């Protein structure tokens, strides 16, 4: 796997062979970065790790995406051509409190790091950096904030391993697809919340699904997941919210 190390001008790249275990396929990431080469390389690297990635090259583009969509993680460059990233960070924290934010900047001053963290950033990485280091920090933030620091996610009889992408019910290993794993983890992390079919589709396949006429494929994935859990004598915690989507209940309906 190719990864890149950026110099201060981002034009020089040295190749490093690395391979880190995947924490969470399907995580939805917004890359706010005006340098096209850098943004594209970060996107390509994370896509190979099965993340769903989008790019905003300016403050205005980022603001529009943040208004329309939800993200699991935001990679935020402080220096944008049409605005200050720290101001955007305040907007993120006012609108998307649960989103993980990793600030990326060429600045190496202590004051910038402190300011970013005080404004609500979860971590801070300074250019230049290796892409595997960036990936490791994304995984660490998500594990710390969303999974209580664990790679093992347990809900009653259901267990998920975010390193091996394994699912078991009552100790029995289920044969699930990658999307079914992502869907179940998305449900559990957002338990007791109503999730629209559109939001599920966007989380797992990207925002291009926003223009689709229907989301029947979401129904099929949910149906398959419920069937496999039921076959292992697991409780069906997923309820259909008619006209909207689905809800993963902490108490079976």
Please report, for the chain, the start and end positions of each structural domain, with discontinuous segments joined by +. 2-146, 152-248
pLDDT digits (tens, 9 = 90+) for 158-197: 998 877 888 999 999 999 888 888 889 889 888 888 888 8
What CATH code would you report for 2-146? 3.40.50.2300
pLDDT band per the 50, 70, 90 thresholds, residue 214 = low
Q: Candidates 3.30.1490.120, 2.60.120.10, 3.30.420.40, 1.10.10.10; correct CATH number of 152-248?
A: 1.10.10.10
pLDDT of residue 244: 86
Helices 178-189 and 197-205, packing angle to 10 deg: 130
Mean pLDDT of 198-220: 70
| Residue 199 near residue 70, CB atoms below 8 Å | yes
pTM here is: 0.57
Mean pLDDT of 106-117: 66
């Amino acid at each position: 796997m190719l990864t890149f190390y950026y110099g201060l001008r981002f034009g020089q790249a040295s190749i490093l062979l690395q391979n880190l275990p995947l924490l969470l396929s399907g995580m939805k990431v917004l890359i706010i970065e005006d340098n096209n080469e850098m943004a594209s390389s970060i996107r390509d690297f994370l896509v190979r790790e099965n993340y769903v990635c989008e790019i905003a090259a300016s403050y205005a583009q980022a603001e529009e995406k943040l208004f329309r969509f939800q993200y699991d993680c935001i990679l935020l460059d402080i220096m944008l051509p049409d605005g200050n990233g720290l101001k955007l960070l305040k907007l993120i924290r006012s609108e998307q409190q649960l989103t993980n934010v990793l600030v990326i900047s060429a600045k190496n001053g202590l004051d910038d790091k402190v300011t970013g963290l005080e404004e609500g950033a979860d971590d801070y990485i300074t250019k230049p950096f290796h892409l595997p280091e960036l990936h490791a920090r994304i995984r660490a933030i998500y594990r710390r904030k969303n999974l209580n620091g664990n790679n093992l996610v347990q809900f009653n009889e259901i267990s998920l391993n975010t390193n091996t992408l394994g699912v078991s019910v009552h100790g029995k290993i289920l044969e699930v697809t990658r999307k079914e794993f992502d869907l179940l983890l998305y449900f559990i992390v957002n338990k007791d919340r109503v999730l629209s079919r559109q939001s599920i589709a966007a989380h797992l396949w990207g925002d291009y699904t926003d223009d689709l006429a229907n989301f029947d494929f979401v129904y099929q994935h949910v149906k398959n997941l419920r069937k496999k859990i039921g076959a292992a004598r697991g409780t069906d915690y997923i309820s259909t919210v008619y006209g909207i989507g689905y809800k993963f209940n902490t108490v079976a309906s």
